Structure 1
Amino acid sequence: MASIDLTSALNRFWLPAWQALGTEPSSGYLPSLLARYDEPHRHYHTRQHLAECFAHFSQVQAACEHWPEVALALWYHDAIYQRHGDNEAASAALAITQLRGVGVAFPACQRIEALIWVTRHAAPPSTTDQSLLIDIDLAILGASTERYAEYSRQVRAEYRWVPSFFYRRGRRRILESFLAQPSLYHHPPMRQALEASARRNLTAEITSLRRGALYRMGI
């Protein structure tokens, strides 16, 4: 994966994305948005996640149907991250309020809203841009062994309020649902680069979660 820091991502994919849609963001949008990704209860859904998303986006930008919309969906897709509630719907609502506030056209707003909603991973994507966004959001599953282990710890820290037994059971269910898919990635280059490592990572974590459950049971 090409490396990109958040400063580079901002220079390439923040203001240029708004300008490509014929407008510019209000001066308060970016500081407020980044402050959300710095919230103390976050451990994975942080600026690090944004930087990693844009590292992948930089490699697939040319494949997008509407790259500025995918870029802005990435900036906003985890803007709201709370223990309870529909975070994707709330993030989409925030994005649309701000987009409409500076005059982004309604069709673009609709597509960006749909892009953010698809990060629920509850339904298959229906457009090329949705497929690319999902691939980018799930790229962490195909990260190096070391980064994936860090990611697993970060996710657990975000759910530290969940008792271990219930966390392991819920986490296993999610990971097994990913592993059961014929392919985790839609875009062929991302599938080629990440599919095998993602399946290894998922299998290893599921095994670890099972062992933890057996240990707790004294088996």
Structure 2
Amino acid sequence: MQSLVERFSAAARDAGATVDDPDLAAAAGYLVTRWSEPQRQYHTVDHLTAVLDVIDRFAGLAPHPERVRLAAWMHDAVYDPRALGDANERDSAEFAEGLLQTLGVPAETAREVARLVGLTAGHATGEDDPDGELLCDADLAVLAGDEVAYAEYTAKIRREYAHVPDDDFRAGRAQVLKALLELPSIYRLAPLREQWEARARANLERELRTGV
């Protein structure tokens, strides 16, 4: 099984990176350090790995899976639970474009990875965007876990937002859940939708109803 460093290096090479292998490894190590920051409870290396695993599993559905993999690495590279709105996603997208260009990834590809990162703010994609659909579906795969896994996910989210009072957290979380439930489909790609849509909606509806 490839290490995370090897997975990042391979995706960067496939996307056109031109720097030497030690530089790619150093960039991967730096990203792992970011994903290991102490304020993170859910948005950790475990989440990154889970997203990458889904992308690998369904890579054939995307025309540019290497870009999707890089976007997965970058989509929460900047993560502050106290940030407002989509600041984390905007900052992560900007960070992604800059870092990838320093690794020799062509500017157009780096911009496209940054665009994909930005999609994770609302998980809404446009027409004919299979790369974006795979990234968003992979990021939301956790919603389709069994009841135990889903409860673990929500507990981690609450710990990440421990600074938010209970009433405010419940109100904000309810907005997130309703926005997801209002999407025409939580999962855009047919194979993922067929496997996960019903269970994800059941989980979201139960949390909205009971807080669990």
- Normalised TM-score (structure 2): 0.90
Question: Is residue 96 of structure 2 the alignment partner of residue 95 of structure 1?
Answer: yes
Alignment of structure 1 residues 4-153 onto 2, 5 Å: 8=2, 10=4, 13-24=7-18, 26=23, 27-82=25-80, 83-84=82-83, 86-121=87-122, 123-126=124-127, 127-153=129-155
> Does residue 1:186 correspond to 2:180, yes or no?
no
Kept in 2, the 8 Å contact 1:121–1:134? The answer is: no
Q: Which residue of 2 aligns with 1:200?
A: 202
Alpha-carbon distance change, 12 to 30 in structure 1, aligned in 2, over 3 angstroms: closer
TM-score (norm 1): 0.87
Structure 1 residues 65, 48: closer, same or farther in 2, change over 3 A? same
| Equivalent position amino acid for 1:76 in 2 | M
Question: Could you tell me how far apart the structure 1 residues matched to 2:177 and 2:167 are?
Answer: 16
Of 74-83 and 99-108, deviating more is: 99-108
Unpaired stretches in structure 1, ≥5 consecutive residues: 1-6, 213-219
User: Once superposed, which parts of structure 1, at least 4 consecutive aligned residues long, lie more than 4 Å away?
Assistant: none
Answer whether contact 2:17 2:106 (CA < 8 A) is retained: no
How far does residue 180 in structure 1 lie from its aligned partner after superposition?
2.1
| CA deviation profile, 1:116-136 (whole Å, cap 9, x unmatched) | 000001643341101111111
For residues 145 and 12 of structure 1, do their structure 2 counterparts lie closer, same or farther at Cα, with a shift above 3 Å needed? Answer: farther
Is the 1:9–1:54 contact (alpha carbons within 8 Å) kept by the matching residues of 2?
no
Same amino acid, percent of matched pairs: 33
CA distance in 2, matches of 1:143, 1:63: 22
In structure 1, distance between residues paired with 2:27 and 2:6: 17
| Counterpart Cα distance in 2 of 1:124 and 1:107 | 19
Note if contact 2:5-2:29 (Cα within 8 Å) is conserved in structure 1: no
